[in-house]
């Protein structure tokens, strides 16, 4: 799926319908969106792009242009979400607006007999590698809203050695069967390629070492939900900060808020990389590295623990074992934490949080997992029926 | 899922709701259940357990207590089924009550356009090893009642080598996505652990060499449905009686009825084990061993055949081949059976019942498989919406 | 599922109901079908077959008889479709009638919120080998019509080495859980065996090197839809004509129309086999072989490209590479094609059609894939609720 400013607020012509396929189904372009005054040049380009008779090659260039220039949030008016590809696509206002919808979803989910909001819509979960946790979360979200699901964890079969179909061809086939695609892929950038191809919305459910934007969103949502604010908070990021996709995204998103302070607590071998540190500094976020988990825990609103991933250490299991045991959250750490503070973890965990922490009200990680459901419900709603 | 006597008949407080999560969704605790007078000590314990502020560790002890003391059937009042973990949890009255509901389910299934009884409910089939037959039976049951399903045969991926998540953590994640969990696991006792953890109902769909309670229920239901009674019947158990989970459970359940006579017919190497024989004797069930299948068949109401499992014989395929060919049900055996008698088999079969038996009305094994659907529909209904 | 002429127009007796199981659910036999006068002998046989008390062995013979003699289309009256096993079962009138329903399905699919036409019906996709594309297409078709799906790509597990259940036993189990079976199998003839066993409709979704009738139907439907007619057309079949199941079926079906001309364009090693050429000649279809793709393309209404399948060449990758590069459809070929002509391809493609062709309106292959959805919707409707 993609769209252009010039399309906003207009009905698709039959010509456009032919090109944009299903898109009218979702009532996508009928939304109350106005054109931003300062984008008249882009608009002219877009207007050309909207010509139904442009060639396939030009069409791809148009899409690239549209992906770059698509607005995320228009003041005084609601944005239209088109795809969810990376955490960076969301600004502060957009996040806030999505979180508001996620809150409504909590109410809907708790009511018996579910909602019929997405009745008649069909989601395809196209997983090129298995991720049962993420897949079940998305599928539950769709079904809690009355929608239906086509599912495959076997999507590699599309492009098996013998067959060799491109991702683009697979997407053009699957978009004929469904209204929205949730894709998990082993290659960074695959989700963006899918979104460029598809005429229906695409959600990135993780593409290799690249992005996992719905995880990033649910993390920020959990902080807001539990702590009550995002400005002025102190967050300790603990564990594997070098390889952890989630902590990197979280640091990135926290930089959008004011007066945030971040503490990095990690074994030397898996320290937070320079790019994120520089990014934080540039965006006025205070940060420091520490070796003292307890001291950090006593100061923070949020202690975000992560798993040290064995697979990153290859043969050096001695280094892994040393790194792994270094910063454990147990009842001792919990003892120094403030009463309102929380412990988060993206799950699955091994023993980096001991099980005796689970019973404490500050152990927020299972609530965090549950929040993933609400965030995904919100995104599905926004992508399929709008605000 | 678990519950306590003290909870019965009361609405959950907001405090309790926080702890018990989804449970209010199913209207679980609002049922017409009274407290048994003779359990006042337990009640006191339970009352303490219900205190929303107890620690996580105490909470686990409470659950253990509750699992042990949970009533299965209260005279003059309907019980509330909470989990289905093992065949032994059902007494005679409970079985009879479940069978009554299964009968209603037959009527519902036969009507076109299905029921909407479980509309809005979501079942997770969490299979740690594939069992297509059992999985499809449960999923059909849920869908025939208008419910929805999240499915995975890949649940091992949750706890894959690289990740190593505990079963308990997986369950706490999945219970956030669904209203009931149907679990198949390769380890004996896994279902009970899941039920101890989950705040929603759990059904054991087979845990390793342990239990497969819905199979046991459908077997007894089939006998009652086909023969019209359970007291005073004669049952021949044939084939692999040493390893067959189903015949062991069936013998156990039959001991709850009066004047039952059981015949064991099996090759020497796979004889019924002593524990069951002693159990039967202790419970006043007459039994005898026989080498003459025809003679037994001529006397029985039910001839329950089982497959000799090759995998139990390891290298000794000679012994397997001898055992396997010994007691075959064919038209000759059928010839001596009484007109009202039936042949049962848990399926799949190889050649221990010849295909020319299939056409005889006494061949009950496919009807038996179908009864699995009705039993599972009944259990889903009872666990999710009660009586 | 099967049925007999004598059944048409009559209600099933309770006796028959017992044998035919679910069939009354679909309102199958209540349809307005009359008996053809010239089949009185068959009728007598059928009448005997309909005797509820015939033996199991006789019952199988009856089924064989019924499969052979079942009508596909009765003039002045609508036929009742019972199973979809092979392309050959459809005559010209039947195809035309199915295509009419497929057109209605296009309208239904485009409306938001889907149809409830198959609400309450349950389809089992029983795949003995994975075929994600075909499976998702069928499951989308069922869900777009409001039906539900039980799915397995793991059906081999039913008959795994250790268990060895026959296909027939598996079918008799699965038919107890669903209203229609869509089966993919690795063995030629498996679909027919399933249909002989099942008392509910069976659709063949590909059985090994044998048949894939819904692909054949969607191909013919696409030609009619895009070209506007099937009589008097010129069709170029390009690529692997020796092994391609689709081109063979297409040639077969095109022989049912008048004044069709077929051109075969293929590397020497994968030429169209003699049996099809003879069949075409016998049925008055003109055909010729050509080495000049451009010349053929300039004359044809349809250029049907296929993939050269590497796996057919074994060790001889040199021959494969030569064959593969020989007949590519690119913008040059497109340049000589007529304005109304189309390029088709069963997908997946590698590079036998270059991607710069995709943007041309004559590139019909993704529309063709989408037509598979409409054909499958039509067949599901016809098999489950009739006309």
pLDDT in tens, B341-363: 999 999 999 999 999 999 999 99
Chain B contact for A361 (CB, 8 A cutoff):
no
Mean pLDDT (whole number) for C207-231? 95
Residue C349: list chain A partners with CB under 8 A.
165, 169
Active-site residue numbers of A?
133-134, 163, 184, 212
Q: How confident is the model at residue A110 (pLDDT cuts 50, 70, 90)?
A: confident
pLDDT score, position A68: 46
Query: Which of B162, B164, B177 has the CB atom closest to A137's CB atom?
Result: B177
| Residue A130 in this model has a pLDDT that exceeds 60 | yes
Q: What's the average model confidence in pLDDT over C221-232? A: 98
CB contact under 8 A, A169 and C144: no
Asked if the bond preceding B348 is cis, omega within 30° of 0, the reply is yes
Q: Does A53 touch chain C (CB under 8 A)?
A: no
Q: Is C358 on the interface with A (CB under 8 A)?
A: yes
C143, C310, C360: best to mutate for the A interface, most A CBs within 10 A: C143
Tell which phi-psi region holds residue B136, choosing left (phi > 0), alpha (psi between -120 and 50) or beta: alpha
ipTM for the whole complex: 0.83
| Mean pLDDT across chain C | 83
Write the CB contacts of B40 (distance below 8 Å, at least 6 apart in sequence).
none
According to DSSP, the residues that pair with B77 across neighbouring strands are B74
Alpha helices, DSSP H, located in chain A: 14-20, 40-49, 56-69, 92-110, 132-144, 167-174, 190-197, 213-227, 245-254, 274-282, 293-299, 317-326, 331-336, 365-384
Q: Are residues B359 and C56, on separate chains, in Cβ contact within 8 Å? A: yes
Q: Which residue from C minimizes the CA distance to A178? A: C140
DSSP H helical ranges for chain B:
14-20, 40-49, 56-69, 92-110, 132-144, 167-174, 190-197, 213-227, 245-254, 274-282, 293-299, 317-326, 331-336, 365-384
**What burial letters (b/e) apply to B33-62, b meaning 16+ CB within 10 Å?**
bebbeeeeebbebbeebbeeeeeeeeebeb
Q: For residue A219, what are its two tokens?
A: 């993390």
Provide the token pair at C267.
């590397």
In this prediction, residue A52 carries a pLDDT of 45
Say whether C162 and B310 touch across the interface (CB within 8 A): yes
Among B387, B291, B303, B307, smallest CA distance to B347 is for B307
Residue C7 pLDDT grade (very low, low, confident, very high; cuts 50, 70, 90): very low
Cα distances from B175 to residues A133, A137, A139, B202, C152, in angstroms, run 11, 11, 14, 10, 23
Q: Which of B106, B108, B109, B112 to probe the C interface (max C CBs under 10 A)? A: B112
Q: Name the minimum distance, in Å, from the CA of A154 to any CA of chain C.
A: 7
Tens digit of each residue's pLDDT (9 = 90 or more) over A291-325 = 999 999 999 999 999 998 887 777 888 888 888 88
Sheet holding B261-265, edge to edge: B286-290, B261-265, B234-238, B302-305, B342-344
Please state, in angstroms and rounded to a whole number, the distance separating the CA atoms of residues A203 and A212. Answer: 10
> What residues are paired with C125 via a beta bridge?
C151, C182
Q: Which residues of C are catalytic?
A: 133-134, 163, 184, 212
Mutate to test the interface with C, among B335, B348, B354 (most CBs of C within 10 A): B348
Judged by CB atoms closer than 8 Å, whether chains meet at B124 and A144 is answered as: no
pLDDT of residue A76: 42
Note the pLDDT of residue A54. Answer: 47
Cα(C66)–Cα(C2) distance, integer angstroms: 7
Question: Per-residue confidence at C181, pLDDT binned at 50, 70, 90?
Answer: very high
**For residue C89, is the peptide bond before it cis, meaning its omega torsion is within 30 degrees of 0?**
no
**CB proximity B55 to A under 8 Å:** yes
Q: Catalytic residue, from B22, B184, B185, B256: name it.
A: B184
What value does the mean pLDDT take over residues C205-219? 93
Would you say residue B242 has pLDDT above 70? Answer: yes
Contact check, Cβ <8 Å, A152/C143: no
Q: Would the CB atoms of B154 and A130 count as touching at under 8 Å? A: yes
CA distance B164 to chain A (A): 6
- H/E segment holding residue C184: strand C180-185
B186 neighbors B158 (Cβ within 8 angstroms): no
> Looking at B109-113, B276-280, C170-174, C199-203, which range is the least confident one?
B109-113
Q: Neighbouring chains of B at 3+ CB pairs within 8 Å?
A: A, C
Residues of A in contact with B170 (CB under 8 A): 348
Q: Which residues of A94-126 are buried (b: 16+ CB within 10 A; e: fewer)?
A: bbebbbebbeebeebbeeeebbebbebbbbbbb
Residue length, chain B?
387
What are the chain B neighbours of A151 within 8 Å (beta carbons)? 151
- Please give the average per-residue pLDDT across A11-32, as a whole number: 36
Number of A/C CB contacts below 8 angstroms equals: 75
- Which chain C residue has its CA at the smallest distance from A55's CA? C359
pLDDT for C63 equals: 53
Question: Which of these is catalytic: B18, B32, B59, B163?
Answer: B163
Out of B132, B140, B373, whose CB is closest to C157? Answer: B132
Q: Do B360 and C169 touch (CB under 8 A)?
A: no
SS3 content of chain A, % helix, strand, coil (to 5): 50, 15, 40
- Cβ count near B331 (within 10 Å): 11
CA distances from A3 to A56, A196, A386 (A): 16, 11, 14
**B163 in active site:** yes
Inform me whether the pLDDT recorded for B137 exceeds 90: yes
Phi, psi of B262 (to 5 degrees): -115, 135
Q: Is A15 on the interface with C (CB under 8 A)?
A: no
Integer-rounded Cα Rg, in Å, for chain A is 22
CB pairs under 8 A between B and C: 75
Best CA proximity match to A262, nearest among A237, A243, A239:
A237
Dump pLDDT digits (tens) for A78-91: 567 899 999 989 99
The residues that bridge with B264 in the sheet, in sequence order, are B237, B289
Residues in chain B with CB shorter than 8 Å from the CB of A313 are: none
Q: Is the pLDDT of residue A42 over 90?
A: no
Our answer to whether residue B134 is catalytic in this structure is yes
Q: Does B122 touch chain A (CB under 8 A)?
A: yes
Question: Which residue of chain B comes nearest to C23, CA vs CA?
Answer: B110
C164 touches chain B (CB under 8 A): yes
CB of C174 less than 8 A from some CB of B:
yes
List Cβ neighbours of C375 (8 Å cut-off, separation of 6 or more). C98, C102, C214, C217, C218, C221
Cβ atoms < 10 Å from Cβ of C356: 14
- For residue C211, pLDDT over 80 is answered with yes
Contact status of C172 with chain B (Cβ, < 8 Å): yes
Q: Given CB atoms, is A152 within the 8 Å cutoff of chain B? A: no
């Amino acid at each position: 799926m993609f769209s252009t400013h010039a399309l906003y607020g207009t009905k698709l012509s039959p010509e456009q319908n032919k090109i944009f396929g299903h898109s009218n189904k979702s009532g996508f372009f009928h939304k109350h969106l106005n054109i931003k005054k300062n984008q008249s040049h882009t608009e002219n380009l877009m207007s050309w792009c909207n010509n139904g008779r442009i060639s396939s090659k030009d069409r791809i260039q148009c899409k690239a242009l549209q992906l770059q220039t698509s607005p995320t949030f228009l003041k005084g008016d609601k944005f239209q979400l088109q795809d969810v590809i990376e955490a960076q696509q969301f600004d502060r206002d957009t996040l806030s607006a999505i979180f508001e919808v996620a809150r409504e979803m909590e109410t809907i989910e708790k009511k018996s007999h579910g909602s019929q909001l997405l009745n008649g819509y069909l989601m395809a979960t196209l997983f090129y590698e298995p991720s049962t946790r993420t897949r079940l979360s998305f599928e539950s979200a769709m079904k809690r809203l009355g929608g239906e699901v086509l599912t495959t964890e076997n999507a590699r079969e599309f492009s098996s050695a013998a067959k060799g179909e491109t991702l683009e061809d697979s997407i053009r086939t699957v978009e004929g069967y469904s209204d929205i695609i949730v894709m998990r892929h082993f290659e960074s950038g695959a989700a963006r390629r899918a979104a460029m191809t598809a005429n229906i919305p695409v959600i990135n459910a993780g593409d290799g070492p690249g992005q996992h934007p719905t995880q990033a969103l649910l993390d920020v949502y959990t902080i807001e939900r539990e702590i009550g604010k995002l400005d002025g908070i102190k967050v300790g990021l603990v564990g594997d900060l070098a390889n952890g996709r989630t902590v990197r995204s979280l640091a990135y998103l926290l930089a959008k808020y004011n007066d945030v302070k971040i503490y990095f607590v990690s074994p030397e071998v898996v320290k937070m990389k320079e790019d994120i540190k520089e990014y934080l500094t540039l965006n006025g976020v205070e940060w420091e590295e520490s070796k003292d988990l307890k001291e950090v825990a006593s100061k923070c609103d949020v202690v975000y623990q992560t798993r040290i991933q064995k697979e990153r250490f290859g043969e050096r299991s001695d280094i892994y074992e040393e790194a792994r045991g270094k910063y454990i959250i147990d009842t001792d750490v919990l003892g120094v934490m403030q009463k309102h503070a929380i412990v988060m973890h993206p799950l699955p965990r091994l023993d980096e949080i001991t099980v005796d922490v689970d019973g404490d009200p500050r152990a927020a990680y299972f609530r965090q997992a549950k929040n993933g459901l609400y965030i995904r419900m919100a995104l599905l709603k926004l992508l399929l029926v709008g605000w």
